[in-house]
Structure 1
């Protein structure tokens, strides 16, 4: 693989990991979003990645999968959105799982960024050799 090829493949990885980071941060931001029991709960977002075919390699976002809209029912009679029995609906999102995914996505992004930096350094070193 050429230096430019490595930069391209790592760039596609960075894009997928950035989308994953966006999805996880959206899930964490809506962790405590309350809805009336008659409405759907916030649906967690999950990035679906797919390998790119052809000679270029890399990965791309195929789409976004949504989690369950059922949520979890919680008894909060003082909540203004509570139904007649005092229940509201929260999203069914596990904070520990989301934090683990956040760390994995962050590390993957950092690894791909390091590949881009190293490929750039290699290319610059090759240019210096050519000048001498």
Structure 2
């Protein structure tokens, strides 16, 4: 693996964590959305990551692994899908709300702001760690070029 391969791995993680942060932001923004185009309340979304061809972890365990690319370089991470949570909506009694049912209850998304903030903090820290890895690699490349002078 060359130095640029490491940068590709970190870049793929930066993209994946950006998507994760955007999904969390969307969940937070829609925490009170009681009616969507589908008619029901907003459903929380989850980001699912997958190893790209040539998983870095697999390359550490076994260079002969099928997860290692054909040229021996490990891959990175990608967003495989964004899934809707199948949790039942929360029901709150508010007979004056325009989306209240005949019984006076309104269906709200099952979104916990604390869970979303923890997920956002994880995405932010992972993003920062990968940005630091890219900076460290840039520094190594610059030092290598200085040695050649």
What do residues 24-53 of structure 1 show as CA deviations (whole Å, max 9, x unaligned)? 1110111111239x9422111111100112
Structure 2 residue runs of 5 or longer lacking an equivalent are 54-68
- Local SS of the residue matching 2:132: helix
Deviation at 1:70, TM superposition (A): 3.3
Please name the residue that 1:114 is paired with.
132
Structure 1 gap segments, 5+ residues each? none
Q: Does 1:90 align with 2:108?
A: yes
1:74 maps to what in 2?
Answer: 92
Which secondary structure state, in structure 1, belongs to the residue aligned with residue 110 of structure 2? coil
Structure 1 segments (4+ residues) deviating >6 Å: none
Q: What's 1:41 paired with? A: 41
Aligned length in residues: 130
Matched, 1:57 2:75: yes
Once superposed, what is the RMSD of the aligned Cα atoms? 1.8
Q: Please, what TM-score do these two structures have when normalized by structure 2?
A: 0.81
Give the structure-1-normalised TM-score.
Answer: 0.90
The secondary structure found in structure 2 opposite 1:41 is: coil
